[in-house]
Structure 1
Amino acid sequence: MLPVPKLTDIARSPLALIAARWTPAPVTVRRATLSALVMSVVIVVTGGAVRLTGSGLGCPTAPRCVGDSWVPTEAMGVHGVIEFTNRMLTYVLCAAVGWAIIAVRSQKPYRRTLTRLGWAQFWVVVANAVLGAFTVLTGLNPYTVCVHFLLAFGLIVIAVLMWQRTAEGDASPRPLVGKPVRQLGGVLAGATMALIAVGTVVTGAGPHAGDSSDVHRIPVDWKSVAQLHADLAWVVVALTVALWFVLRAVDGPIGPRHRTRELFLVLMSQGIIGYVQYFTHLPEAVVGLHMFGACLVWVATLRVLLSFRERPLAEPGGPGAAASELTAGAGGSRVGDSALGARREPVDAARVALTDEAGDPLPVRR
């Protein structure tokens, strides 16, 4: 009697079948994971458009749009079209995540960590879709809307990490900066998280309820919360400037310095947009641009944290380890853990091992 296959084996077999017949180029894997990241940002922006146009209940039921219909009817007007379009973009996001999963699963050698990150994205998308349906069924409860928004930012975390890891190896991470610098980066990330969370409260208490009907709002003075949001923004800016000066003072690697400078520029642009929307009484277009800026701030912050370490293509002493030391760290020197650290380690180029497309080492011609 033949054994009954497990459900996990059945689910894995299509991916294994593709992987056995196709090996994507590294650039293809990189682009696939980037597409998942881009769609993670797009779904946040289009979700904001639904809210800002008052289309949150354009499709008043879930999972169907209205009654027995899966699509909006003519009587529902433009609001139904906007809400339904955002729902359909969730499938585009799933397709982008699926493409990323197929690409990382098919690359050689197989990297289990990347595949798990891809599946983590998929299940976060599913969870947020369920939460979005619950948000509609509860009449746009502001608290579930806030959680819905924050979970989307959690998806961006995984997408950024997966995209970054495609350019790295699977060896244990090695710090490029000292512990105090990493601690300052952690404080910066925590302040950015608080900034985004308070921003969701501003939205939940502000004038853009998401629908023209009488929708429950968070019972706080939104202008006071907006002031707190602005204060936190200045805290994040101050921490970013401090981090940049520290990296300059210890002659830190060029990678972290560039990522920190990029974050500062994004914060300045976001700050300008924030003050414009406040003094112009929150016009919908500017608020939507501010939401897009919030995504960029979060991505830039994550890239700063990820620039603090490197993951070689192989464990120290193994094939390709010396090559990874030349290419890791965005061209910067590795900074040790002692104090703030400014220790540079020379690399013997003669020890660099090249690899062929299959990942096998090739001899180096001296």
Structure 2
Amino acid sequence: MKIPVSRSFVRLSWITLVFIYLVVIAGSFVRITGSGMGCPDWPKCFGQWVPPTDAEVLPENYQNIYSEKRKNKVEKFMKMLSAVGLEGEAKKLGDNMESILIEEEFNARKTWTEYANRLFGFVAGNLILLSFLWILLKYRKRRLVFVSTVNLIILVFQAWFGSIVVATNLVPWTITVHMLLALVIIGLQLYIIRMVSPVQQKDLAVSKTIYWLMFVIFTVTFAQMFLGTQVREEIDFLRKAGVEREDWSTYFSIPFFIHRSFSWLVLVLIAGVYWFKRKDRELRIIHWSFYILVVELVSGILLAYFNMPGLIQTAHLLFASVLFGVLLMAMFRMKSKNHTSEI
């Protein structure tokens, strides 16, 4: 569906996408620095819109105050989980309530790291809201309004769920859900760009073979990102258990090895598509997918064999997210030729 819009709106759509990715990067940096609980409440930080820089301005019993607030929120969340049939997850939260409610001491560096992450989220959220209002007031195209509305609703849910991640003291599965919701928001924003950008509106004609190969590559890549979140959960558990970073790799389970093996499968498939289409300038999106995947694999190798350096973890997530976006846009734009299955 081609929708004529102003260049300003197209530019806004791309800027919004960039800020969504910045939120993903900031979130990863928060995790590798252990700053997730730098702000024990949400949306404010230590009850303030601009967080403190020194513990002296906080009440003496601030840890008990915020622990009690989080307890109330967790209990409400447990009731909600039970109401939708997730009694098992609610029980796990209840069984681990004591560890969940452990309140960290104030650390200015961690507080401001988490606060910066929230600022990026605030900007990205307002850009999505601005896009929604722009569409609603000026363009009013049914599909565009629908997609932007869904994106805004998921954004609001994501913001609320972010408060749950904080309240539960970074319970691993909540972080995974938080990440997957971010990918959904990226996907919806890319679809909006597909509908409004003249460049992205151009279809790419490919054979059925190439189309289905790219579909398999995209599917496996998405599965890889999910497996990556499982590996990340294992890392979080090992960190909390006090296992030294250089010993993490010895504790990894099956998801890590599947994640590593599937990476090579994706490389082989996309390298094959790249080789056959390397001279086709119309399919530069495939070329970019190949280049990004190579960098992604290099970062994965560095993670596996060089004791999980923190910044490489952020780079790994960034390139995985970008690869997801590029492949998704490729799937949006590619149209298979019905009359041939040749490469």
- TM-score, normalised to structure 1, is 0.68
- Report the equivalent of 1:177: 206
Which residue identity does 2:222 align to in structure 1? M
Counterpart Cα distance in 1 of 2:239 and 2:43: 19
Higher share in helix: 2
| 1:112 is aligned to 2:142 | yes
Q: 1:71-107: per-residue Cα shift (whole Å, max 9, x none)?
A: 4332232211221222232220112112322444455
In structure 1, the partner of 2:58 is none
User: Which of 33, 41, 58 does residue 53 from structure 1 map onto?
Assistant: 33
Root-mean-square deviation (Å): 3.1
1:26 deviates by 2.5
**Conserved? CA contact 2:203–2:333, under 8 Å:** no
Task: Indicate the SS of the match to 1:177.
Answer: strand
2:5–2:196: 8 Å Cα contact kept in structure 1? Answer: no
Structure 2 residue aligned with 1:339: 340
CA offsets 1:148-195 (integer angstroms, 9 cap, x no match): 1111111111111111211259x9x97823444332222111101111
Q: Which has the larger radius of gyration?
A: 1
The answer on whether the counterparts of 1:50 and 1:56 sit within 8 Å (CA) in structure 2 is: yes
The CA distance in 1 between the partners of 2:241 and 2:113, in whole Å, is 14
Shift in CA distance, 182/266, structure 1 to aligned 2, threshold 3 Å? same
- Is the 2:209–2:342 contact (alpha carbons within 8 Å) kept by the matching residues of 1? no
The answer on whether the counterparts of 1:58 and 1:83 sit within 8 Å (CA) in structure 2 is yes
Structure 2: gaps of 5 or more residues:
56-105, 244-249
1:282 alignment partner in structure 2 = 308
Structure 2 residue 228 is the aligned partner of structure 1 residue 199: yes
Q: CA separation of 1:174/1:263 partners in 2, compared to 1, >3 Å: closer, same or farther?
A: closer
Residue 303 of structure 1 corresponds to which residue in structure 2?
329
**Residue 224 of structure 1: how far off its partner (Å):** 4.6
Distance in 2 of aligned mates of 1:145 and 1:233: 23
Query: Aligned equivalents of 1:45 and 1:300: distance in 2?
Result: 17
Of the candidates 224, 235, 245, which is equivalent to residue 265 of structure 2?
235
Which among 4, 15, 18 is matched to residue 38 of structure 1?
A: 18
For residue 51 of structure 2, the aligned residue among 72, 95, 100 is: 72
In structure 2, what is the equivalent of residue 153 of structure 1? 183
* 2:220–2:262 contact (8 Å) kept in structure 1: yes
SS of 1:206 mapped into structure 2: helix
For 2:206, what is the secondary structure of its paired residue?
coil
Distance in 1 of aligned mates of 2:204 and 2:118: 41
| 1:4 aligned residue | none
Q: Are the structure 2 counterparts of residues 240 and 301 from structure 1 closer, same or farther at C-alpha, using a change threshold of 3 Å?
A: same
CA contact (8 A) 1:100 1:118 kept: yes
Q: 1:163 to 1:99 in 2, by over 3 A?
A: same
Q: TM-score normalised to the size of structure 2? A: 0.73
Q: Write the mapping of 1:183-332 to structure 2, written as runs, cut at 5 A.
A: 183-206=212-235, 221-222=251-252, 224-245=254-275, 254-255=281-282, 257-309=283-335
Task: Identify which range, 79-88 or 36-45, moves more after superposition.
Answer: 79-88
CA–CA separation in structure 1 for the residues paired with 2:13 and 2:306:
38
Structure with greater contact order relative to length (CA < 8 Å, sep ≥ 6): 2
Question: Taking structure 1 as reference, are residues 212 and 44 closer, same or farther at Cα in structure 2, changes over 3 Å only?
Answer: farther
Q: Distance in 1 between matches of 2:156 and 2:242?
A: 28
Instruction: Give the 3-state SS of the residue equivalent to 2:36 in structure 1.
Output: coil
Partner of 1:9: none
The answer to whether the 8 A contact 1:28-1:103 is kept is no
In structure 2, do the counterparts of structure 1 residues 254 and 140 end up closer, same or farther at CA, with 3 Å as the change threshold?
A: same
Relative to structure 1, is the Cα distance of residues 222 and 212 closer, same or farther in structure 2, using a 3 angstrom cutoff?
Answer: closer
- Tell me the residue number matched to 2:71: none
Letter in 1 for 2:307: H
AA in 2 matched with 1:277 = L
Q: Is the 8 A contact 2:28 2:314 kept in 1?
A: yes
How many residues in Structure 1 have an aligned counterpart in Structure 2?
A: 281
Consecutive unaligned residues in structure 1, runs of 5 or more: 1-23, 215-219, 310-334, 343-366
Distance across 2 between alignment mates of 1:39 and 1:180? 35
Counterpart residue identity of residue 45, structure 2: C
Counterparts in 2 of 1:175 and 1:89: CA distance versus 1, 3 Å = closer
In 2, distance between residues paired with 1:82 and 1:97? 23
